[in-house]
Amino acid sequence: MTDRQGTTAVITGGGRGFGAAFGAALAEQGAHVVLVDIDETAAHEAAAAIRDAGGSADGLTGDVTDETRMGEVMTRAAGTHGGLDLLINNAGLHSDAYSRPITEMGAAKVRRLFDVNVHGVIATTLAAVPYLRDRPGANIVNISSAAAYLGGTAYGTSKLAVVGLTVTFARELGPLGIRVNAIAPGMILTETIATELSPETRAGVKRMQFLDTDGGEADIVDAVLFLSGAGARFVTGETLRVTGGMAAGV
């Protein structure tokens, strides 16, 4: 598939996990992908893996809370094809340490969480907009979480803010021809999640689903490919919940 030939996608948190998987899938469809990660080694290794598979990729180091660095990253990424076509705001803090009530975490840890998960989305989006505007099909996909709809943790609250930012940026950037959507993954059994969650926790979450099946990384990759593609050209301001029904609501 080469329907993304001549396009450039920037993926934050691109060195591993979902970010690396998004990069591999987009490169397979012909995009040049720029994987941005605070872990320089991870970013370069993920990009090298894509190149080894025949794709086009660069790995860059960068902290999404650093506005100056995000500006440099977007300028460099845009140089490949004269602009940007897709930004995936995937970087975020999500370990068990942040999935706790705010009263347990304290102000300093909550501030760090919101700096990355919320301000990071703002900083990278603002840095990318000059290169996304007026590019046919240009769009942004933010990665939220099912936790946004469940309440009870600082992490969930930060991801609820991402849902709100998705609507706000969709409204503001629509006149520039930029679509903005989000994905809220449920329990996706990546290697990390399978290790972090106890069997009891996994069983409890699964009981909340409407579907008695496990979500996989490919489900989130497919959702990104849909929302960022031409098939979603009239979709903006939406958050697609990929949760097996766990976070369903009206």
Catalytic annotation, residues: 155
List, as one string, the DSSP characters of 99-138: SS-HHHH-HHHHHHHHIIIIIHHHHHHHHHHHHHTT-TT-
Report the Cα 246 to chain-centroid distance in Å: 20
Least Cα distance to 156 among 210, 222, 110 occurs for 110
Q: State the Cα–Cα distance between residues 188 and 190, nearest whole angstrom.
A: 6
Q: State the Cα–Cα distance between residues 31 and 7, nearest whole angstrom.
A: 5
Alpha-helical (H) ranges within the chain are 17-28, 40-52, 67-78, 102-105, 107-114, 120-132, 154-173, 191-196, 199-208, 217-227
Report the Cα 85 to chain-centroid distance in Å: 15
